[in-house]
Amino acid sequence: MSEARIAIGNLGDGKLSITRSSDDGAARSAISLADPDIIRDPYSIYRELRAVSSIFRSDSLFGDAWVFMDPEDILTLLRDTDHLSSAKSRGIVDALPLEQRDQFKGLIELHSRWLNFFDPPKHTRMRKLVGRGFGAQIGERLLQAIRDLVAEMISSFENKDHVDIINDYARRVPLATVSEFLGIPKKDLPSFGRWIGDIATYMGSDQPDLETIKTAHRSLVEFEQYFREVVAERRKSPIPDDLISTLIEAEETGDVLTEDELFAQCTFLSFTGSETTKNLIGNAIYTLLQNDSQRRLLVENPTMIGRAIEEILRFECPVQFIVRIVKEPFTYKSAKLGSGEYVIMMIGAANRDPKVFTDPDVFDFAQERPKHISFGEGIHACLGQGLARKESEIAIGSFMAKFPNAELDQERGFSWRKNPGLRGLESLYVKFGR
């Protein structure tokens, strides 16, 4: 990132100054992971930071939280539920001035009921109940429905010169899948897409502005209200093989989900089942079209799609960082962590650590790679990772098989979302070679 003119200085006690110089070098300003050049390529600044320290804090990034980039450190911390908590739903709101926080009490309350914001023992109970309902849906019936949906979408491209892969395909596939396993009418999916997008913009930001938080709050209220109405209807008229009906009936040794827990988990599963999978599909097609030899390898060897997906997950991870909050003071290596401080684990950096991965900045699914950590680790490892893999294999494999000569539309181009935490494309125009 030499053109960005970034300077990193060590201030001692684990603190770094990270600044950008003006074009003439006369002035410096704080840097954000949402800066356009970093959004285009976050991995360069990860390399520069790692060269100084893999454990640090900085006022510029995440409001002085502790940042960890080493894979072994991240795995250790993700498993550490004694010192670190996932109950971090108010973290972004806490960064606001005191006079602005009260208006977002509702956002914090709604968000705090999501499964990924619970600690044991509540998390243990909730994951068993949600996992029982969710796991029951992942079978051949759902996978065949996804194949049919993908085939229908792809057939609609046959007479077109170009498409926007993100909005015409990568976004639609997981939304249609969510519709299928939740039993949601397809006419409601545009609202789902808007709600999910608004929440993703908020959750993936390192320092969201007030309008972003307000929009996410409004969408989360609307999202949960939608499920309140759906759940009420399902109680009167259950649908066989429907996740909501299954969750209503899910029980573990007599325990069931409360009404509020049920609404929240429907929202949570819709969000996680759609946003990250959309990014995975879009990132995969973009990366394959940027790497001709790898694309040809996959087209000629379609059974390698599983390996290609794992390499995409490592190379262009849809979730770039995971956040925890310190329960009580403790020391980890050079970091003296205080109660209430935030811990940022940089998954995107860890997946390209040269100590672990040979040629980490090269996309190559032909070589054997160590395991990535894109789905997290420990008790909070992604509940839906199996479905995300299968869904992406179908969507990406089918697209490449049908359009082996597809290429990036250089005239219309592509753009990355201004979202440092949830990495994905805003648009990706593709032309079809015939």
- Measure the CA–CA gap between 18 and 31, rounded to whole angstroms: 6
What pLDDT, in 10s, does the model give residues 163-189? Answer: 999 999 999 999 998 888 888 888 998
For residue range 290-318, list pLDDT tens digits in order.
Answer: 999 999 999 999 999 999 999 999 999 99
Which of 89-93, 105-109, 364-368 shows the highest mean pLDDT? 364-368
332: phi then psi, degrees, rounded to nearest 5: -125, 110
CA–CA gap between residue 204 and residue 194 (Å, rounded): 15
Query: pLDDT tens digit string along 237-253?
Result: 887 777 888 888 876 66
Residue 350, classed as helix, strand or coil, is: helix
> Distance between CA atoms of 375 and 16, rounded to whole angstroms?
28
Backbone angles phi, psi at 293, to 5 degrees: -65, -40
pLDDT exceeds cutoff 50 at 2: no
Angstrom distance (rounded) from CA 189 to CA 171? 11
What tens digit of pLDDT does each residue of 388-413 get? 999 999 999 999 999 999 999 999 99
Residue 394, CA distances (Å) to 38, 137, 382, 430 in order: 31, 17, 20, 19
DSSP secondary structure string for all residues of 38-84? HHH-HHHHHHHHHHH-SEEE-SSSTTT-EEE--HHHHHHHHH-TTTE
What's the CA dihedral at 17, 318, 126, 234 to 10 degrees?
140
Structural domains for the chain: 62-431 (1.10.630.10)
For residues 115 and 268, is the Cβ–Cβ distance under 8 A? Answer: yes
Q: What is the tens place of the pLDDT at every residue in 99-147?
A: 677 777 777 888 788 888 899 999 998 888 888 767 666 778 888 999 9
Do the beta carbons of residue 414 and residue 428 sit within 8 Å? yes
Task: Note the pLDDT of residue 24.
Answer: 59
272 band by pLDDT with thresholds 50, 70 and 90: confident
d(CA 347, CA 376) in angstroms, rounded, equals 8
- Amino acid (one-letter) located at 200: A
